[in-house]
Amino acid sequence: MTKRQRTFLFLAATVLFLLATPAVILYSQGLRIDWKNRTLTHTGGIFLKAVPSRATISLDGSFVKRTDFFFDSALLTNLLPGNYDVVVEKEGYIPWKKTLPVQKAQVTEEKHVILFSQDISFQTLFSNVLNFWPSPDGSLFVFQKKLDSRTWQLTSWNPQDGREIVLWEAPLSNQVEDIIWSPDSNAIALRLAALERERYLLWNLKGQTQDACVLTPCSLDFLGLSSNEVAFSSENSQHVLFTVFQVGSVSLKRANYVTKAIPETLAKDILAFSSEGRNVWWLDEKGILWEKNLASQDVPVSLNKEPYLVRPETKYTISGNGSILLFQETNGELFEVQRQGEITKLSTEVTSFLRSPDKQKVVLVKGNQLAVLFLDKKKELVLETFAKTPKNLVWLNSNYLFATINEKAVIIEIDEFGMPNIVDLGTFKKPKLGWNSQTQSLFLQSETTFLSSEKLLP
């Protein structure tokens, strides 16, 4: 090779190096050429976590990769900014589909993808159920069952071992108004309409045979209650909180239904109350929201500096534990009350609401519309508008919700990107739903038939 040739090769290699180096540096920093917009831009990514494992991921109709076997996740990188049609699928399961946005130098996360079986089957467990009430943690169910043309019985049932215990038998003329669960799922209160008066009977469902209210129910007859609001105290399931109408106003009291000690007055002139954790909250007639620790002797603390404008004829609902929500039922307004004293209106035209298990989201029913409110961002997102009002809302977890639309049972995905994936579970007459996280099964009453689904989660 001549000297001239060597010089030419050296200069050519130098030029190629100088041209390639910036491109390599830009590539390593995540920069790509967006040929559509003729610009140089940072790329983004999509992180997916889905069950069952080894699911197939496609972008805009093209296969990309499978989720990891050990962590059920996949990271899609070097994506130009824009919207991508993402499909996660596996044989035998309903595909998950969503349009996800990708922004430059950011990763869009979908960490709660669940693929549900294409053929979800139900089996009949009981055929004489008049009504049922699942416990707050889903570990127990209480049934009202019809025995014959004149008698019904109250039973408790454990879905894990199938054990059923008869609690009470009564004539059909005694009407069950409601079953109230203690927050710890250990006890129930039966509100019974009998002989033109109301009675409350209470059972300890997880106690020993020698404990009070296990074999024989306790009663609230000693309180002389009639058409009062009753709830278990969250700090002690042997205590009940109840309201009493006295001289033109309503008082909030606490009583031990086992010892039947003289009730303690907690507050007067109240419009609504709620108890969660160790605390109780109440709204008084002056528009002040109060908080008290039931496990201490500390005096109640007022939460709002300025009185909230109350209407005595309006029904109010309080939801505590985390941020405190105040719902004004008559005009459908939902407020958040900060412990610093501020009251913020979160939404209007609300028919009903349900808070997620992680307390970060609130599902709102607005007529036939279903929306989700993200409490940290104060962001409301419409999920879907149905032909009928969504009913029987039950959380599967904080990212999926059971509901009935007319006579159809469905699973609805809840996330910040909207366009929820909705799984049709079938059509049932007069459906009512309950979820058990231990068996991972949906329980469903259709008229007098009580059914159980197969295991829903992989």
pLDDT tens string 112-154: 999 999 999 999 999 999 999 999 999 999 999 999 999 999 9
300-313 per-residue burial string, b: 16 or more CB within 10 A, e: under 16: beebbeeebebeee
pLDDT value for 186: 94
d(CA 418, CA 99): 9
The side-by-side arrangement of strands in the sheet containing 249-256 is 230-232, 239-246, 249-256, 264-267
Residue 340: predicted pLDDT: 74
The number of beta carbons lying within 10 Å of the beta carbon of residue 24 is: 10
Intra-chain end-to-end CA distance of the chain, in Å: 68
Structure token pair of residue 315 = 């029904």
3-state SS string for 268-301: CCEEEEEEECCEEEEEECCCCEEEEECCCCCCCE
| pTM for the structure as a whole | 0.90
Which amino acid belongs to residue 131?
Answer: N
Query: Residue 32 is encoded by which pair of tokens?
Result: 């790509």
What digits encode the pLDDT tens for the residues 296-343?
889 999 998 888 889 878 899 999 877 899 999 888 999 999 877 788
| pLDDT mean values, one per 10 residues, the chain (458 residues) | 65 58 48 55 92 97 95 95 97 98 95 97 98 96 96 97 95 93 95 83 93 94 82 91 88 96 94 92 95 92 88 88 86 88 92 95 97 95 97 98 97 95 98 96 98 96
Domain boundaries defined on the chain? 3-32, 43-114
Architecture of 43-114 per CATH?
A: Sandwich (2.60)
pLDDT for position 248: 79
Query: CA 173, CA 193: separation in Å to the nearest integer?
Result: 9
pLDDT of residue 234: 86
Other CB atoms within 10 A of residue 262 CB:
9
What is the DSSP-derived secondary structure letter of residue 416?
T
pLDDT of residue 246: 78
Q: What is the pLDDT of residue 25?
A: 47
CB count in 10 Å sphere of residue 443: 23
